[in-house]
Structure 1
Amino acid sequence: MKLTGKERVLAALLGATAALAVTALILILVEATSVRLPTDTKFGIVFDAGSSHTSLFVYRWPADKENDTGVVSQALACKVEGPGISSYTSNPAQAGESLRGCLEEALAVIPEAQRPQTPLFLGATAGMRLLSQKNSSQAGDIFAAVTQVLGQAPLDFRGAELLASQDEGALGWITINYVLGLLVKYSFSGEWIRPPEGTLVGALDMGGASTQITFVPGGPVLDKSTQAAFRLYGFEHSVYTHSYLCFGRDQMLTRLLAGLLQSRQALRVRHPCYHSGYRGTVSLAPLYESPCVQATAPPGLPQSLTVEGTGNPRACVSATRGLFNFSSCEGREDCAFNGVYQPPVRGQFYAFSSFFHTFHFLNLTSRQSLATVNATVWDFCQKPWKLVEAAWPGQQPWLRDHCASGLYMLTLLLEGYGFTEETWPSIEFRKQAGGTDIGWALGYMLNLTNMIPAEVPAQWRAESYGVWVASVVFVALTLAAILAAAAAQLLWARD
């Protein structure tokens, strides 16, 4: 049907009005988005100086959203070449020099103009903790060498320090729950909402020298030395946390071998956790240098010893159980091992670091049942060494230790921490969460830069949200009124 001239004019006016209204709506949405999108990006750098290696992490976040949740992302992860800094006792300067490669990679990520405002931290954990106990002077020399190198970087260097053992577990707990967005939720009404406590995830961490467990208990923490309290986003959080020094993967292997040496009958050791057919030589002097080895070297001990594998998982479990003092917790439900207080485990857990690497190697990170996990580890331990070498070429020198690690971790999780067949599915073995490596480093940075506020400065955000909603509603109603009036005018014109 052909429109009259009057109808064409009204249709054109209607189209123009609708276009203007839509344009206004788009402008409002863009303005609202501009309030929420970053105008700049800030960076932070953390060196995680562990016992076996050092890693660098670069984090970034929108400058105008420092107090928001879940806005930090990992921009770079770099593994420093060489061992952990605690290994450089004979050449402390090399501990600092070893960090330069990753530091250069970090600087390449950060714009030059922002480098002076970029915080840089180095936190050392159980390896340096053990060295400080053994020789505080050597530990001081290493920290001085590290400080000299990092202090020369064009960054805001905040220091190199020893991380308190309880902080290591607690900060790892913050990291996981932060990147998963579980610490706080923001409602459409402009309010911060605390998620139910049952949604918070526990943390199971294992490094080379220590292991940590942290979770929200079902009741009050009776031993205050195992409690960590935070005020995050205006909400109080109280967690149980404990760090076991000398129960990390590397120190466990050292203590295990030292225990087997005490009962040796000749210049060789038959190791039940090594695969049958394995034969190797170990240097004995470093074994007894570890503060975690309480035994003294047997008299007449040679410089090296031959170790032969027997591939006996039952005997391996017996040997690893000898590393724990379970008798000190007999008759107590609130005790893990070595007389350490622990409430019953509760909720979901993320197991990371050495937990993840060991179970990932064994292909056991897909939430398999405990029966499947146990059978898989035992089957692996009973494989002849020749078959293991052929199946995983080029994975020395740690290939021989996965059997011991797997059985040790099962003993720790089940007999130590108290997980059962029913609660085992609550453990998820992960390296990352939300695209970020899991560990204490992000929580360390968040804590020291006060990126997680004690109170919620969100008033401006609620106001912006309210204005945005009102603007959208106003434009929508105006557009509807214009369309209705134009339609009525067209009908009138036809009549």
Structure 2
Amino acid sequence: MEYKAKVIAGLLTATCVFSIIALILSAVNVKDVFLPPGTKYGLVFDAGSTHTALYVYQWPADKENGTGIVSQVESCTVNGSGISSYADDPAGAGASLKPCLAKAMTIIPAEQQRQTPTYLGATAGMRLLREQNSTKAEQVFAEVTKAIREYPVDFRGAQILTGNEEGSFGWITVNYLLDTLIKFSFAGKWEHPQNTEVLGALDLGGASTQITFQPGVTIEDKNTSVLFRLYGTNYSLYTHSYLCYGQTQALKRLIAALHQQAQRSVRRGLPFGEEGDVVFTITLLPQAFSGFYYTFSFLNLTSQQSLSHVNATVWDFCNKNWSKLVETFPENKEHLHTYCVVGLYILTLLVDGYKFDEHTWSNIHFSQKAGNTDIGWTLGFMLNLTNMIPTEALELVKGQQPSLWAGAISFIVLAIVTGLVAILLQCFWKSK
């Protein structure tokens, strides 16, 4: 009997010792730590003149100097033409958005969907429709609003972006993706890059074209100036949008002309050279995207070839036999007839309009994406918007080193096991 009592006492003593050790380990070197920031999501529809796309973005809730570190999660191209093409069928415009919205709902966690800010920004196609028939434009917006509100998101409205907004948001996208606004340093933190020149942005859409850059001098015309504060730094930009000088609108004026006459027709119609708009552009390091990229990519001219090479390539394409082109590019038959005229138009726009020459042409980079992110106005729009979305406070918790925590857990387990063994032995011996 005395032996049994000693065994039980020994087990209970071990249980107490293990518990005390676990308590000591759990209290040693405890520090206040912040949990990693949560993730916020945002949705932006780019309702262009020729098509609509939905972009899903995310960013850490804590932000950097007031601006989010935004990344693209997904993109979805809406079937059909741009929403302005539904002027006589506004309900169709709303219905066309639903498949992409449904796809976005599979990406954003259900518990965050109702807090996800969602926007629709329409560009030059809707600007033109509003000028031609404001009633039809309002009906299209009413239907797309109705469709988006069927989904559990924080819809904050559909609006027509001004040309200057479209151009300046595209500038933000380009410079953010190419690390001229903020960069993750070797020190493991986000910093403003030193001695890095910001880039210009050239955008060619279906109904308008935009040029945006930081001129380095005071912009006297307030209609072409915009100010942004991003990651704690102020940027004063020159931006100008030319409505009706996108490639689709240009094609409408030029498609009936012979290719040899097209270049002269464009030159007569360009609006440049009257206001001194582009006197700074020869110093730009611009990124040319959207229509600039798609046409020159087809012509294999996106590798910074010389201006003389580009000019020769475009004219060589224009002089090819049509039946031979169809035979060579059967998969591009739908758009094949546009590449000659648009190629000539781009050359005229950049050379005669923006005054790039053989020396400065090599500065232009024709791009569609940077990394896995599409270049366009939507990311810049979302980045600028994060300035106005409140930062979530980080959650403060008590934490300790993993080794100490693991040791405390181990001794807790030992204390429980020895205590249970003592109880079981006591019960067994009593039953005997």
Same amino acid, percent of matched pairs: 51
Alignment-derived partner of residue 290 in structure 1:
none
1:322 counterpart = 2:322: no
Match of 1:130 in 2: 128
SS of corresponding position for 1:44: strand
Closer, same or farther: CA 71–184 of 1 in aligned 2, 3 Å? closer
1:250 to 228, 248, 264: 248
Q: Deviations over 1:429-464 (max 9, x none)?
A: 0001132101110111222332799xxx9xx9xxxx
For the residue of structure 1 that corresponds to 2:106, the secondary structure is: helix
Whole-angstrom CA distance in 1 between matches of 2:284 and 2:133: 40
Q: Say whether the 8 Å CA contact 1:59–1:75 is kept in structure 2.
A: yes
CA–CA separation in structure 2 for the residues paired with 1:203 and 1:148: 34
Match of 2:50 in 1: 52
Q: Give how far 1:192 is off.
A: 4.8
Which residues of 2 match residues 37-436 of structure 1 at below 5 A?
Answer: 38-65=36-63, 67=65, 71-185=69-183, 188=187, 192-193=191-192, 195-196=194-195, 199-257=197-255, 260=256, 271-273=257-259, 312=260, 315-325=261-271, 336-337=272-273, 339=275, 341-345=277-281, 346-436=283-373
Instruction: Tell me the distance in 2 between the aligned counterparts of 1:204 and 1:77.
Output: 22
* Counterpart code for 1:444: F
Cα distance in 1 for partners of 2:388, 2:358 equals: 39
The 3 A distance-change label for structure 1 pair 116 and 70 is closer
Runs of 4+ more than 6 Å apart: none
Give the TM-score normalised by structure 1: 0.68
* SS of residue paired to 1:98: helix
Q: Which residue identity lines up with residue 363 of structure 1 in the other structure?
A: N
Give, in angstroms, the shift of residue 74 of structure 1: 1.0
Kept after mapping to 2: 8 A contact 1:358/1:405: yes
| Mapped contact 2:208–2:246 kept (Cα < 8 A) | yes
Q: Distance in 1 between matches of 2:209 and 2:289?
A: 10
Residues 100 and 338 of structure 1: is their aligned pair in 2 closer, same or farther, counting only changes over 3 Å? farther
- Cα contact 2:179–2:193 (8 A) shared by 1: no
SS of equivalent to 1:86: helix
Answer whether contact 2:263 2:345 (CA < 8 A) is retained.
yes
- Structure 2 residue identity aligned to 1:323: G
Is contact 2:123–2:163 with CA below 8 Å preserved after alignment? yes
1:40-98: CA deviation from partner (whole Å, max 9, x where unpaired): 32211100000010011111122334658783211111110000000111111111000
Deviation at 1:194, TM superposition (A): 5.6
- Cα distance in 2 for partners of 1:195, 1:146 equals 44
Task: Report the CA distance between 1:403 and its aligned residue.
Answer: 0.3
Whole-angstrom distance in 2 between the partners of 1:449 and 1:193: 18
What amino acid is the match of 1:195? Q
Task: Give the superposition deviation at 1:371.
Answer: 1.2
3-state secondary structure, aligned to 2:278? coil
Calculate the TM-score normalised by the size of structure 2: 0.78
Relative contact order, higher structure (CA 8 A, sep 6+): 2
Go from structure 1 to structure 2 and tell me whether the alpha carbon gap of 1:382 and 1:149 turns closer, same or farther (over 3 Å shift): same
Please report how far the alpha carbon of residue 203 of structure 1 lies from its aligned counterpart in structure 2 after TM superposition: 0.5
Which segment drifts farther, 162-171 or 173-182? 173-182
Instruction: Supply the distance in 2 between the matched residues of 1:122 and 1:324 (Cα, whole angstroms).
Output: 30
Unaligned runs of 5+ in 1: 1-27, 261-270, 274-311, 326-335, 461-470, 472-495
Query: Offset of 1:202 from its aligned partner?
Result: 0.6
CA apart distance, 1:108: 1.1
| Shift of residue 170, structure 1, vs aligned partner | 0.5
Contact 1:365/1:428 (CA < 8 Å) preserved in 2?
yes
CA distance in 2: counterparts of 1:412 and 1:191, whole angstroms: 38
Measure the CA separation in 2 of the matches of 1:194 and 1:160.
35
- Count of residues in Structure 1 that have an aligned counterpart in Structure 2: 362
Equivalent residue letter for 2:236: S
Displacement after TM superposition at 1:219 (Å): 2.2
Shift of 1:157: 0.7
Q: Which whole-Å CA distance do the structure 2 matches of 1:162 and 1:191 have between them?
A: 33
Any idea what the Cα deviations from partners look like across 1:125-178, whole Å, max 9, x if unmatched?
A: 000000111110000000000100111210111111111221110111011111
Match of 2:18 in 1: none
- Counterpart in the other structure of 1:328: none
Q: Give the unaligned 5+ runs of structure 2.
A: 1-28, 395-400, 402-432
Residue deviations 1:287-323, cap 9 Å, x none? xxxxxxxxxxxxxxxxxxxxxxxxx3xx332122232
